[in-house]
Amino acid sequence: MAPDTSRTIFEPGRNCWQVARAHRASLIVDAGDYYHVIREAMAKAQRRILVIGWDFDTRISLEPLEQGEQENLGGFFLRLIRSAKSLEIYVLKWSFGAKKQFLKPRAAWLLWKWYRTRQIDFKFDAAHPPGCSHHQKIVVIDDSMAICGGIDIAANRWDTTRHHDEEKGRVNPDGKAYGPWHDLTFAMQGPVAQVLGDLGRDRWGIAGGGELVKVSGAKADCWPEDLAIDFTDVDIAISRTRAAWQDVAEVREIEELWLDMIGAARLMVYIENQYLTSAKIAAAIAKRMEEPDPPEIVMVMPRKADGWLEQRAMDAARVQLARMVGKVDRLDRFRIYVPVTEQGTDIYVHAKIAIVDDRILRVGSANLNNRSFGLDSECDVTIDTALPANTGKEGQIAALRTRLISEHLDVAADAVTGKLAETGSLIATIESLRGEGKTLELLDLEKPGPFDCFIADNELLDPEHPDKFLEPISQRGLRKTWAEGLRKVRGTGWRRRDRT
């Protein structure tokens, strides 16, 4: 059955903030390509570069494979302002670990040189409740081009789509090698960039940076010559998460849109995400699995979270939620896969993307955890082909899903499209094409230990709201949130206006 695209799922004020036009838009896969094209775009800036990030490191090179002496990011920014006296650069980074910047001689020296120029301003964002973070990853250039997704301009992010076992460019500024890293982001040009600029200016002000006026007088086309165009003249929804802080109101658009997208699926949902610890999302998936003919839901995730604490909190919750979904998945329509390299090394998945049928494409900074739905500042961008401007873009969305799956399976795109046409099943396609070497492996849902279960069951590190950090354990928990999620999707009629 073809997906029903008669009505858009977007409701500004509930599951998105605004919908704005992009004259050009493209998915950028992995930081190797992203750092190359963002360097090109920044080099064309005339008035302003605004960087909003969870992390930022002045010491990294955007082109680590260049021959000869490599230019670091801090030096690149200094060169830009010397060649363009009208250019201003603003960088906003989460405040956690901010002091470490000044304990690293190279980073501290570059920040001092930035300060002396007066054309570069650097702020640390601490404007959120305790336990929350600033997690958006946005770059806006001259209010004409914007990038929004999951890639920070920071250490330990650069990699190519090949994800080689040995990669000389995969070394942090301290000279330490790190493992394969998969990520992505979304580039847009047009009025949507000014809207994202408004979001960035608002966040800059909330963080104490003062008022930034809109950009005017910039006339250059900042779109990189090396960046192929996936979409032209599309309308894009912007969704946010923001915790209540002083006189700043709470925003939970991202969670609402996720629930609506799962409810709108007819045939298949393809997701790449770092975490699955939101019991509401898992409950929504379980509700779909209970249907007579549910959609396939395929997730590509890291085998283990990045860091000991995250593994205790996130991995155990994922296993328990996946097992709860599995109990009602009678037709085996729910799968979680892990990408590995040619030699079997895990590829860490930091990407945050969802593709529903051939209809909806969503990219952003939000994970499928409670933090991203209620604690941390997040931003996602979404294309729905039910919008009149987006009619006929289904083929481009399907092509991007094929591109990602073929990268993970290390097969030609034609092999994926051919097998999908033959089977009509995303799971059957992956199962028939995965094999030895660089491929996708099924996640082993090994039962976690008692300590990990205690942390996960009580959502100790991943509560739904900031104030729940202080609530008694008896008043919260994974199963309670699961039950609340089921009541929500059943009580709202699944918000199925677009599926009738």
Residue pLDDT, tens place only, 367-425: 999 999 999 999 999 999 999 999 999 999 999 999 999 999 999 999 999 999 999 99
> Is the full-model pTM beyond 0.85?
yes
Strand partners, 335: 298
CA–CA distances in Å: residue 176 to residues 22, 103, 129: 39, 18, 34
**Which pLDDT score, from 0 to 100, does residue 3 have?**
41
Q: What one-character DSSP code corresponds to residue 54?
A: S
- 261 conformational bin, left if phi > 0, alpha if psi -120 to 50, beta if neither: alpha
Distance CA 278, CA 299 (A): 14
Q: Is the dihedral of CA 181, 100, 139, 276 positive or negative?
A: positive
Query: For 198-208, what is the mean pLDDT?
Result: 96
Q: Are strands 378-384 and 296-300 parallel, antiparallel or unpaired?
A: unpaired
pLDDT top residue among 105 and 191: 191
Task: Provide the CB-side half-sphere exposure for 193 (13 A, CA).
Answer: 26
Cβ(145)–Cβ(189) below 8 Å: yes
Q: What percent of the chain has pLDDT over 70?
A: 88
Q: Is pLDDT at 496 greater than 50 in this prediction?
A: no
Spell out the domains of the chain, with CATH numbers in brackets: 24-212+224-230 (3.30.870.10), 241-494 (3.30.870.10)
